[in-house]
A and B are shown apart, each in its own frame.
Chain A
């Protein structure tokens, strides 16, 4: 129940990322966290480094709404988180059957009965009992090295998330993992965007010089492509990565797609990738063909989940329109379209800065709930602070009871 109640906390988590993490994207909640203030974000046109990092994280959003692999992964993260929250709620209600029944009965009672029998006081007692037992249980099961509330409340959540993360990082026979394709794609896209800003005409030289500024693994997939295609990898990499993410095992799909793409005339890479996407080449090592995110979300028989993914409703609706100005290959294949995307495309994205939230959506409750959901997934919620708050609430309640008991007539 503690993480269930965290969802409704309107004081959103404001995490401070370590300095080497310029920004991060939580795909299971469609939340982007920037290592910058709100004022810095608002003056982004004058801040090329921030703009470039925003493009990197924006590319992860594009990957999520354009490719089946990234979309299914985001959906799984969301589902396991929501399942854990539901489990936590029911577990705590079952743990306190009497108090829970009393609480709900008092809540449902008509107004005249509530006043006649002072049911609100009884409800408060029930709530205090549930809180006390929950606090005790949380303190008993808190892991030694994890100080997040979710880590103590639903440790299974992090086992499930670790499994999802392990699958992302698993390299196949090619030596590439889905992580290499996803992060390599975002780093190349970011550097290609920077090249358009600085007017650099040799993209391969820009990428070769720029990739070492990231953590070492970000450049693995590009180095793989360069080894096979030389300087032409600069033009082939993004379309190939975009197509690879339509398969169940993107790391294994990438080499085959790269081989097929390199046969095209220079300058026709995007068009060739589009025609290749239409043919849906089968590759045994790459697993199932998942298609685009819009296809995956529309075809119910391919959906391994129960509910449609509302966090990405707006961009998926945009990409499903018959009159859409750009398609998935355009968006992922070149940074030229990124800042031309309409405002509606970003509806639903929540931005977290050092000093608060920003969002294209106006629904404040949903905004906060999704920031909290990301906070649960990324361990921004703090158990010691929660314990302190519960103890303070309980002692305030105890004081008020004592005052009533000893107050004069």
Chain B
């Protein structure tokens, strides 16, 4: 049901090993696992609101549940696609690694806050974070490199669904918004 890791380093090593075992490029695997570990550390440091009277089974360290694994795999597939779409200086480029880490961190944060993002949504966020603001047509072209069957309507629906999401704590946030010139941009939470 879940795997427990004593420290952030153990979590990082386990996630990297899993991704590499699934054939993910080592640099991309390191970027994704770095984003996941950062998101987990920040989430666990968030202040707890006073008055929580529940009695918990609270495990120590870091936990990855079985149902996290498909999301982790989807995340690494998107990271690979995003890396391919920005192929300028190869996957070892520090700028690209930093961008992939930030994409992984954002997506993992959103996932942990209770939002089940689908592959198209993750891809859209990934591309917008890596490339900056994009028009719908350009974004769809880039997405087609990973998902050839994607069309404008599907991408638009995915982006619209990202503009109003309810997090576990009740906040309603926008991960992607469009401006007057029909350019979409991604936002952190």
Judged by a CB distance under 8 angstroms, whether B63 is at the interface is: yes
Chain B nearest CB: distance from A338 CB in Å?
Answer: 15
In the bound complex, what is the Cα–Cα distance between A24 and B64 (angstroms)? Answer: 18
In the bound complex, what is the Cα–Cα distance between A59 and B166 (angstroms)? Answer: 34
Judged by a CB distance under 8 angstroms, whether A16 is at the interface is: yes
In the bound complex, what is the Cα–Cα distance between A33 and B53 (angstroms)? Answer: 13
Chain B nearest CB: distance from A211 CB in Å?
Answer: 9
Q: C-beta contact mask, B79-115 vs A, less than 8 Å → 1, else 0?
A: 0000000000000000000000000000000001010
Q: When A384-B166, A385-B172 are in contact, do A18 and B57 touch as well, CB less than 8 Å?
A: no
Q: C-beta contact mask, A39-65 vs B, less than 8 Å → 1, else 0?
A: 010000001011001001100100000
> For residue A15, which residues in chain B have a CB less than 8 angstroms away from its CB?
168
In the bound complex, what is the Cα–Cα distance between A212 and B59 (angstroms)? Answer: 9
Chain A nearest CB: distance from B66 CB in Å?
Answer: 10
Judged by a CB distance under 8 angstroms, whether A341 is at the interface is: no
> For residue A159, which residues in chain B have a CB less than 8 angstroms away from its CB?
50-51
Q: Which of B1, B44, B56, B172 contacts A24 (CB 8 A)?
A: B56
Interface size class of A (residues with CB under 8 A): 35 or more
Q: When A19-B63, A379-B49 are in contact, do A147 and B57 touch as well, CB less than 8 Å?
A: no
Q: Are B65 and A19 in contact (CB under 8 A)?
A: yes
In the bound complex, what is the Cα–Cα distance between A24 and B47 (angstroms)? Answer: 19
In the bound complex, what is the Cα–Cα distance between A161 and B53 (angstroms)? Answer: 7
Q: Are A212 and B169 in contact (CB under 8 A)?
A: no
Q: In chain A, residues 353-404, which have Cβ atoms closer than 8 Å to a Cβ of chain B?
A: 377-379, 381-385, 388
Q: Are A25 and B170 in contact (CB under 8 A)?
A: no
In the bound complex, what is the Cα–Cα distance between A213 and B171 (angstroms)? Answer: 32
Q: Are B43 and A18 in contact (CB under 8 A)?
A: yes
Q: Are A186 and B55 in contact (CB under 8 A)?
A: yes
Judged by a CB distance under 8 angstroms, whether A21 is at the interface is: yes
> For residue A147, which residues in chain B have a CB less than 8 angstroms away from its CB?
169-171
> For residue B50, which residues in chain A have a CB less than 8 angstroms away from its CB?
158-159, 161-162, 165
Q: Are A60 and B58 in contact (CB under 8 A)?
A: no
Most buried by A among B54, B63, B166, B169: B54
Q: Are B60 and A216 in contact (CB under 8 A)?
A: yes
Judged by a CB distance under 8 angstroms, whether A215 is at the interface is: yes
Q: Are B51 and A161 in contact (CB under 8 A)?
A: yes
Task: Please report A residues at the B interface, Cβ cutoff 8 Å.
Answer: 15-16, 18-28, 33, 35-36, 40, 47, 49-50, 53, 56-57, 60, 77, 145-149, 151, 157-162, 164-165, 182-183, 186, 190, 212-216, 218, 377-379, 381-385, 388
Beyond A22-B2, A165-B50, A377-B53, 12 extra complex contacts between A and B, CB < 8 Å = A19-B112, A20-B44, A21-B59, A22-B57, A24-B57, A25-B55, A56-B57, A145-B49, A182-B55, A214-B57, A379-B52, A382-B166
